[in-house]
A and B are shown apart, each in its own frame.
Chain A
Amino acid sequence: MLDSPAPDAHAHAPIAKDETLFVRGLQKSVPGGRKLFSGLDLSASAGEIVAIVGESGVGKSTLLNILAGLDDADAGEVRIAGANLGPLGEAERTRLRRERIGFVFQAFHILPYLTLRQNVALPLALVGADARSIGARADEMLNAVGLGARGSGYARDLSGGELQRVAIARALVHRPALILADEPTGNLDPDTAGLVLDLFAEAVRSRGAAAVIVTHSRATADIADRVLVLTAKGLVDQHVGAR
């Protein structure tokens, strides 16, 4: 478990609906009836990084999937950049993800048959951005993560840390309001993980996005502004992170 201050389930500040991420009273059970969590409240504002920690099987990834509109909660409300996910159909949720959310995964998920520039530009291409500006914006993002010269290369030419930097560039290229990261350093060694996390935090904050990171790693949680522990009763504030 992470360090003090001691968990306090009721100590978090009131949440405003105009936050980038607004979650109220979320409840989810797994098939078979076991309750993963209930009464879960969460918020994240622009430029804020929130880390969610917890034991395996507690439902961290499920929570992230619900925030992404890939899974449904049993009860509660989720708003992203003002949009309430509840009444949205699959197509609207897909559009919301495409336009307002960026993703970083543990296994990088860089498509091996696209160039790195194309991988980074994929979210722009999916929203139908102007073809001429796509390449320039992807290069700009690759520069920002220190891989500006590698745009025409492929995933097989890169190390794990470099692949995750490409994934960060892809998550931010379309200027999303919210970044969702699932164990972003789970496949990296500690030194590389540190470098990638610094880059991630800098990139998120400088672009004014909110980020939610799900992780087991103390080092990863340390870059967050707030660290929350997920329990069956909801999220518990643990400490204020690096900022």
Chain B
Amino acid sequence: MSARADLFSARLALGWLVAGEARAHPARFLGTVVAIAVGVALGFAVHLINNSALASFGEAVRSVNGAPDLSLRAASPLGFDELLYPEILRTEGVADASPVVSLEARARNTAFTLLGLDVIRAANVTPSLVGQLPAGPDQASANVFDGQTLFLSRAALDAMGASVGDRLDVSANGKTVPLTVAGLLPGVGDGQAVGVIDIAAAQWRFDRLGRLDRIDLALSDRAQAEAALREKLPADAVLADAESELQQGGNLSRAYRVNLNMLALVALLTGGFLVFSAQSLSVARRLRAFALVRTLGLPRGGIVALVALEGFFIGVLGALLGLALGYALAALAVAWFGGDLGAGYFRGGNVQVVFQPLAATVFFALGVLAATLGSVFPARAASRAAPAAALKNSGDLADPRRPVPWRAALILLASGAAACLLPPVGGLPVFGFAGMALMLAGGVAGVPWLARKLLAPLARRRTLAVPVQLGARHVFGSPSEAATALCGIVASTALMIAMATMVTSFRHAVDDWLVQVLSADLYVQAQGGAGFDRQAQARLAAAPGVDEIAFSRQIPLTIQPDRPPILLIARPVGADDAAAAPLVLIEEADAPPPSDAVPVWVSEPASRLFGWEVGEAIALPLGQGARFTVAGVWRDYARQQGSVVIREADYSRLTGDFSRDEASLALAAGADPDAVGQALVAALPPEMKNAVSLSQPAELRRFALELFDRSFAVTYVLEAVAILVGLAGVAATVSSQTIARGKEFGMLRHLGVEKRQLTAMLGFEGALLGLIGGVAGVLLGVALSQALIHVINPQSFNWSMSTQWPVATILSVMAALLLAAALTAMVAGRRATAQSAVLAVREDW
């Protein structure tokens, strides 16, 4: 009979043993189930939220685009020449083409996308964007080609509190135009704010004559059309389809989502460690029981199967509970924080959390795997114990002379550090994460060694009080026991310290950068697509109290259709203008650019994303035939997707666009910012007076830091949960270890040690454990923080920074750990020492 058949024969016995253990220690069993449930819940919730947000983003893209076969899109909001349209229409493989003007508009304080369409063409290409008149007989006369007719989606209408027939003042591209709501857009998805007017009205009334933003295409032969269109594509346009648009949205938030998922998985990892701690203790306690069943004929593999089976059941229950909790958590988080959990990646749209069976299966499997693996390791160790010896001994075989292993820890730490040096894969720090996981494993494996080293001086001292001596020698003599209790908390503390260090460093770097770039006294920003024309610029410059004024223009620029657009910033550079914010340069070209090249300064993320080096010639979809050279790389923490600065004179020359949307001012000596602000608004034309915002640098800095904190809020929550799970692990394992030492306490009391001395000893032991866990967690956290700052962050977000240590957080975590471990040990100790000393030393289970 094979070993497997033997195990199968013994299935009834295995079932009894598993069920019996769960019945005998329900709190331990439930604790481990909850730990796995929390891990699965967080992972599943984050995944559900991310995917729901992406699905909603996709819905928004489809709603605004009307799902054409293919689109030719302008690379920037400046659009492209409408003369391209008849050429595109004649292209082979193109069945029909619908020209579109797309504007970011506002009406009744509601932002929406305003599309100008040729209704006849759109009916063939993007029918979902065609408006529908109300069915009533009195309304039938409304003319869809009328320049004042506006069709709105249900979401836009509701947000504005308007109804069909209402007249609205719609602002876009710096113009405000009265339009009448003639009907609805029934083809636009729920929650998407979209408006449609006739294309001629859009061009004429919103100052877009001769320009188009996209041409939607219906294709008869896709391959033929794509090949022919690429030939005709101007520099300021790209070909895009729904897939590339979705990818663009996905790319924008991908790194954030991956990092969030990793953080959520930390909780699951901590849960796995907690199962490991609990099962290690449970196995240690049951060594004689295992020896008995092995003596009675259970094969060695039966012990592994038995404990793994327990882990499996813990995993199944925990994962099922976690999936339910995760779904509820996702629904709550989306309701409270939105689909991007406050990070600001996806605006608008109704995020609906949808249960995802495949993801649920994966997270269920991860939960079961974590719990089973957490059980298999201690089970394998237990199965190797000689049954005859284990039957005679109580299992407490601590030997202070036995050297503790350290090589495995060192190898894991070294290979982790080496993995961090490898480049990203597909734009993601895959090796960085693998390196962190290896370092984490190495750190946890090194805890026994650290415990020995830390406690050696204490264990050698003979002048200490008895409780302190006993406590120190116990922890010194059994460092593996300490490591078992601490593995979960070391992992979660290390990651918490690492995250806190990264966030502190990042926040510090952003704050410093903000102080440097917000050097003007006052900022004026045009809202809702409005802009300052040359006349308005002159009026602003002449307003009383203004000493210097610098204007800038910011437009999104699509470099690749499947990547989020970068931001092109046209502004004064260097000594051009005293009021302009300085560019915080990281790298600068030594030689001036060639005379026929336009110098541009790329941000650090843009440089990393597109591989743009200083002095390199690059292509930008701006101005026919223009050549651009990178004159420098500057620090920019505001735009993750990258940005490029160009001198405003170059910009206007290349685009013919003299409009500006932002002004930074240096005030005359003694001028009051509020008074100057009022003067500036007064200087503007009437339609722009309500379309500008004024801000002072302190305000902008506070707002930016608030945004920063909000986007990291969810990471704090995830870290806190991981720490709580880890602390629960320490509490559970310290208490189990303490209770399991009842016989030792009974013996000590026979020798005359008082109960209060025992409690003091346990408190001291607990504090030592907390100290070891804290020191290990902090040391490991420091190492991991460097991986986060110098590997994960640059490879995920393309930002670099220097390290700032969150000293207060580190000290608080250490103090919390020390206190929690000491208190738990003391509380458990009271229970363990409560039984009679005589009973405690009885040789029995």
Q: B-contacting residues of A (Cβ < 8 Å)?
A: 61, 65, 68, 70-71, 90-91, 94-95, 97-99, 103, 105, 107-114, 118, 122-123, 125-128, 131, 134, 155, 170, 187
Instruction: Give how many A-B residue pairs fall within 8 Å (CB-CB).
Output: 91
Contact yes or no, A127 B297, CB < 8 A: yes
A98–B3 Cα gap in the complex (Å)? 13
Cβ–Cβ < 8 Å partners of B297 in chain A: 94-95, 97-99, 123, 126-127
Cβ–Cβ < 8 Å partners of A122 in chain B: 13, 16, 293, 296
Least CB distance, B389 to chain A, in whole angstroms? 9
- Asked whether B388 is an interface residue with its Cβ less than 8 Å from the other chain, the reply is yes
- Asked whether B687 is an interface residue with its Cβ less than 8 Å from the other chain, the reply is no
A-B contact pairs, 5 of them (CB 8 A): A70-B387, A109-B391, A113-B20, A122-B16, A126-B297
Which chain A residue lies CB-closest to B392?
Answer: A61
The 9 closest A-B pairs by CB, nearest first: A98-B297, A128-B9, A113-B24, A113-B20, A125-B13, A125-B12, A65-B388, A70-B388, A109-B292
Cβ–Cβ < 8 Å partners of A107 in chain B: 391, 843-844
Which chain A residue lies CB-closest to B1?
Answer: A95
Contact yes or no, A91 B23, CB < 8 A: no
- Asked whether B300 is an interface residue with its Cβ less than 8 Å from the other chain, the reply is yes
Least CB distance, A99 to chain B, in whole angstroms? 7
As a 0/1 sequence over residues 1 to 37 of chain B, the CB contacts with chain A under 8 angstroms (1 = contact) are 1010010111111001100110110000000000000
Cβ–Cβ < 8 Å partners of B284 in chain A: none
Least CB distance, A164 to chain B, in whole angstroms? 12
Classify the interface of chain B: helix, strand, loop or mixed: helix
Contact yes or no, A113 B23, CB < 8 A: yes
A125–B20 Cα gap in the complex (Å)? 14
A213–B97 Cα gap in the complex (Å)? 99
Contact yes or no, A125 B10, CB < 8 A: yes
Which chain B residue lies CB-closest to A127?
Answer: B9
Cβ–Cβ < 8 Å partners of B295 in chain A: 68, 70, 97, 103
A111–B23 Cα gap in the complex (Å)? 13
Cβ–Cβ < 8 Å partners of B387 in chain A: 70
Interface size class of B (residues with CB under 8 A): 20 to 34
Contact yes or no, B296 A98, CB < 8 A: yes
Cβ–Cβ < 8 Å partners of A118 in chain B: 16, 20
Cβ–Cβ < 8 Å partners of A123 in chain B: 296-297
Contact yes or no, A126 B20, CB < 8 A: no
- Asked whether B421 is an interface residue with its Cβ less than 8 Å from the other chain, the reply is no
A131–B11 Cα gap in the complex (Å)? 10
Which chain B residue lies CB-closest to A170?
Answer: B296
Cβ–Cβ < 8 Å partners of A114 in chain B: 16-17, 20
Least CB distance, B395 to chain A, in whole angstroms? 13
Which chain B residue lies CB-closest to A180?
Answer: B295
Besides A70-B388, A113-B24, A128-B10, 14 other A-B contacts (C-beta < 8 A): A61-B388, A90-B299, A90-B300, A94-B297, A94-B300, A95-B1, A103-B296, A107-B843, A111-B292, A113-B20, A113-B23, A114-B20, A123-B297, A155-B845
Least CB distance, B50 to chain A, in whole angstroms? 43
Contact yes or no, B391 A105, CB < 8 A: yes
Cβ–Cβ < 8 Å partners of B8 in chain A: 128
A30–B843 Cα gap in the complex (Å)? 27
Least CB distance, B751 to chain A, in whole angstroms? 23
- Asked whether B294 is an interface residue with its Cβ less than 8 Å from the other chain, the reply is yes
A112–B387 Cα gap in the complex (Å)? 18
Cβ–Cβ < 8 Å partners of B293 in chain A: 122, 126
Contact yes or no, A71 B388, CB < 8 A: yes
- Asked whether B211 is an interface residue with its Cβ less than 8 Å from the other chain, the reply is no
Cβ–Cβ < 8 Å partners of A71 in chain B: 388
Contact yes or no, B24 A91, CB < 8 A: no
Specify which of B1, B6, B845 is in contact with A112 (CB 8 Å cutoff).
B845
A114–B8 Cα gap in the complex (Å)? 20
- Asked whether B815 is an interface residue with its Cβ less than 8 Å from the other chain, the reply is no
A91–B392 Cα gap in the complex (Å)? 22
Which chain B residue lies CB-closest to A134?
Answer: B12
Cβ–Cβ < 8 Å partners of B692 in chain A: none
A110–B23 Cα gap in the complex (Å)? 16
- Asked whether B288 is an interface residue with its Cβ less than 8 Å from the other chain, the reply is yes
Cβ–Cβ < 8 Å partners of A134 in chain B: 12
Least CB distance, A75 to chain B, in whole angstroms? 20
- Asked whether B386 is an interface residue with its Cβ less than 8 Å from the other chain, the reply is yes
Cβ–Cβ < 8 Å partners of B13 in chain A: 122, 125-126
Least CB distance, B844 to chain A, in whole angstroms? 7
Cβ–Cβ < 8 Å partners of B845 in chain A: 109-112, 155
A113–B292 Cα gap in the complex (Å)? 14
Which chain A residue lies CB-closest to B14?
Answer: A125
Least CB distance, A204 to chain B, in whole angstroms? 17
Least CB distance, A36 to chain B, in whole angstroms? 14
Known: A65-B388, A99-B297. A126 touches B24 (CB 8 A): no
Least CB distance, B764 to chain A, in whole angstroms? 31
- Asked whether B289 is an interface residue with its Cβ less than 8 Å from the other chain, the reply is yes
- Asked whether B776 is an interface residue with its Cβ less than 8 Å from the other chain, the reply is no
A140–B623 Cα gap in the complex (Å)? 98
Which chain B residue lies CB-closest to A160?
Answer: B844
- Asked whether B298 is an interface residue with its Cβ less than 8 Å from the other chain, the reply is yes
